[in-house]
Structure 1
Amino acid sequence: MELRVLVIDDDTIFNLMADVILRDLGITTQPQCFTSGQEALAYISQHDHADITYLLFLDINMPIMTGWEVLDCLQSMPHHHRIHVVIVTSSINRADQKAARASKFVIDYMIKPLKRDILATLKSHKKIAPFFLANN
């Protein structure tokens, strides 16, 4: 099984920070960063194989295509059961949190900024534990 980590956020500074933190925590040695949902979905479509599991760190407030729209599009991916999403957003809106948790893809909802100690709590999620083990 191949593990791939994608960061999807229109803020390039956030993407750089996420890249460093994800590497430091051993979640991945090579995160793929995208500034739009369309780019990320195109990447997943081109690399959608039964042996690849994805962990997406997804912002919901993006121009052109929101994170909600990305989640909707993931439904049509042939191997969508191998895609796990952590919402990373500035939204503290309870309705957003509730909607995110209702998605079958979303395993966690985190408020920006991304912090090492908060990310470390992801180790307890059974679905993504292999991401921590694979790179250590």
Structure 2
Amino acid sequence: MSNKIALACIIDDDDMYVSLVKKIIEAKNLCQNLMVFQNGKAALNYFEVILSNLDQKSIPEIIFLDLNMPVMDGWEFLDNFTRIKNKLGKAITLYVVSSSINPVDIERAKSINSVKDYLIKPVTIDDLETIFSGKRT
């Protein structure tokens, strides 16, 4: 893959899921670096620090966001992230990844401009390859 993603981000408290996705991303060589946050607050704190120094290499190109997490859930993160996203000066593709199949959650997530798509866990190898190749619409 010639235009490999430099940095991707997972915001999810499910260690087993995160471990599986990390292994797939590494095995398929889908991106150069991967950062993981256990909750939305930790991720938001990171992005607020990035705002102060605008280091483009530290801003992920793709974010996979879980909805159900402790401390700050995905909905709260989205509310806050939407306010600062444009100030980061880099295109970020955000996917909500959840085990929820509730149509209300799916429609709510898809109605948020910052969200590219809603994926239901477990995410497949094909899903990840399509996302990282830039072919998912």
Amino acid at match of 2:98: T
1:92 aligns with 2:111: no
1:60 aligns with 2:63: no
Matched residue, 1:12: 15
- Report the aligned-residue RMSD: 2.1
Q: Give the TM-score normalised by structure 1.
A: 0.79
Amino acid at match of 2:33: Q
Using the TM superposition, give the Cα deviation of residue 14 of structure 1 relative to its aligned residue in structure 2, in angstroms.
1.4
SS at match of 1:99: helix
Conservation of the 8 A alpha-carbon contact between 1:86 and 1:109: yes
Conservation of the 8 A alpha-carbon contact between 1:5 and 1:32: yes
1:45 to 37, 43, 48: 48
Matched residue, 1:117: 126
SS at match of 1:91: coil
SS at match of 1:82: coil
Using the TM superposition, give the Cα deviation of residue 82 of structure 1 relative to its aligned residue in structure 2, in angstroms.
2.6
Q: Give the TM-score normalised by structure 2.
A: 0.79
- The count of residues paired between Structure 1 and Structure 2 equals 125
Q: Which aligned segments of 4 or more residues in structure 1 are displaced greater than 6 angstroms?
A: none
SS at match of 1:113: coil
Using the TM superposition, give the Cα deviation of residue 3 of structure 1 relative to its aligned residue in structure 2, in angstroms.
4.0
Conservation of the 8 A alpha-carbon contact between 1:10 and 1:62: yes
Q: Which moved more, 1:41-50 or 1:25-34?
A: 41-50
Identity of aligned residues (%): 32
Matched residue, 2:114: 105
Conservation of the 8 A alpha-carbon contact between 2:9 and 2:62: yes
